[in-house]
Amino acid sequence: MLAVLRKLFRVPERHKEATGPRNAVPAGPSWAVDLRLALAWWHLLALAIGLGGVWSRARALRAWRRGSTADDALRRAYTGDAWWGLAALLWLSTGLWRLLGGTEKATSYYVASHAFRLKMALFLVIIAIEVWPMRTLVRWRRRTSVPSPHDALRIEWISYLQCALVGAMVLAATAMARGYGIAPAPRAVPPLPASSAPPGALLPADSVRMAPSGTETVTDEDIALLTREIAMPLDSVDPSGLHSNFDERRGGGTRRHQAIDLMAARRTPIHAAAAGRVLKLFTSAAGGLMVYAADSSERWIMLYAHLDGYAPGLRDGAPLARGQLIGFVGSTGNAQASAPHLHFAIARSADVRHWSRGRAIDPLPVLRAATGTLSRAGAAR
């Protein structure tokens, strides 16, 4: 069954790279895909089971109160209650597995989401108001208490309320899946001062600030400027060992990648590739936690995506020194949990106020050229 479903709903190979030891992305074993699919399937199936169970429990108790055959109506109420309990166990077990096991997204992604917290609060309310109906129905089954119309009415209305709460849970889950409700980065801590930037870091004041050019056309001068300013955002990655996947087709062939995926262990520090400023801390279902930043000339926008978390104090508009910590490698958004990486993109911008727009260029040639320039400069000193 899982093999058929996996074939029908095949997970796109979003991060499959050209051959190369440093940026080849493990697609993950087939059992990992099966596990993710199975957990998501059971989690959603529990919704249908639970909603049907609690609704049928309410309707059966209503029929019993109105004079239907007692044994038949109560039997249907007990059956609905049993399915409702099974659904709760499925929700809890599959939910905890997905939360703590990192099968789809990192735990930090869920914890940072207000929508997820709302979903969990609604679930706890459902469980809390279920305690009395559960105990009452158990006594009825064991015949240690006589069923009463008054108690049946209370359980019926509690069941209707639980149906509404389940619907609210679905809304919260839908919002979370689409990136709504992600908590912003902490703002109480001031940004990293220039004096604490890494040795040799290029500070914002060290570059000439230029007004937006009003064009996305990429010139040799633009590339030369970027090459002087930029550095690798991950210290552990050597660009000479990478292969470009800028033109790789994604989304079932509907779009180009227009970025490079830098593979690294989860929570590997990510450093600002260039001096400049933060344009926007953003979250989406595809990119997860993201940072849009401008270089000091404000001709270029750099995108860092799938972060596991932001650096303390990072905020919109904060100045950046080259080499300054901005976040940590993760797999938020549509990245595979088994392949944490940094999705790094560079775009020529006509106006950085429109931080999501620009003409994308392949980051790899620039990173290679910049690394060579820095190495020669270091050797000369």
CATH of the domain at 348: 2.70.70.10
Residue-range definition of the domain harbouring residue 329:
194-380
* Average pLDDT value over all residues in the chain: 79
One domain, residues 144 and 202:
no
**Cα distance between residue 184 and residue 224, in whole Å:** 35
Asked if 164 and 281 sit in the same domain, the reply is no
Q: How many CB atoms lie within 10 A of CB 150?
A: 8
* Counted domains in the chain: 2
* pLDDT of 217 over the 70 cut: yes
pLDDT digits (tens, 9 = 90+) for 278-325: 999 998 888 899 999 999 888 899 999 999 999 999 999 999 999 999
Are residue 18 and residue 165 in the same domain, yes or no? yes
Give me Rg for the CA atoms of the chain.
27
- Asked if 69 and 131 sit in the same domain, the reply is yes
**pLDDT at residue 188 in the model:** 35
Q: Is residue 184 part of a domain?
A: no
Buried b (16+ CB within 10 A) or exposed e, 264-280: bebebebbbbbbbbbbb
User: In the structure, what pLDDT confidence band is assigned to residue 371 with cuts at 50, 70 and 90?
Assistant: confident
Asked if the structure places residue 65 within a domain, the reply is: yes
Task: Assess whether 260 and 200 both reside in one domain.
Answer: yes
Question: Angle formed by the axes of helices 363-380 and 220-229, to 10°?
Answer: 60
pLDDT confidence of residue 344? 94
Q: Is residue 182 part of a domain?
A: no
Q: Is residue 186 part of a domain?
A: no
Note the pLDDT tens digit of each residue in 115-125: 888 999 999 99
Q: Is residue 189 part of a domain?
A: no
- Among all chains, which residue has been given the structure tokens 């989304």? 251
Residues 31 and 155 grouped into a single domain: yes
- Asked whether residue 148 falls in the same domain as residue 201, the answer is no
Place of tokens 């970025």: 259
Question: Domain boundary residue among 149, 177, 205?
Answer: 177
Is 302 part of a structural domain of the chain? yes
- Residue 260 is assigned to a structural domain of this protein: yes
Strands 359-361 and 325-329: unpaired
- Same domain assignment for residues 233 and 172: no
Do 205 and 149 lie in one domain? The reply is no
Sign, CA dihedral 217-220-222-223, equals positive
| Same structural domain, 152 and 234 | no
The percent of residues above 90 in pLDDT, for the chain, comes to 39
Pick from 177, 203, 232: which residue ends a domain?
A: 177
Q: Does residue 290 fall inside a structural domain?
A: yes
Residue 175 to residue 207: CA distance in whole angstroms: 41
Same-domain check for residues 217 and 171: no
Residue that is last in its domain, among 133, 150, 177 = 177
In this structure, the answer to whether residues 114 and 245 fall within a common structural domain is: no
Residue-wise pLDDT for 52-84, tens only, equals 999 999 999 999 888 766 678 889 999 999 999
Model confidence band, residue 172 (pLDDT cutoffs 50, 70, 90): confident
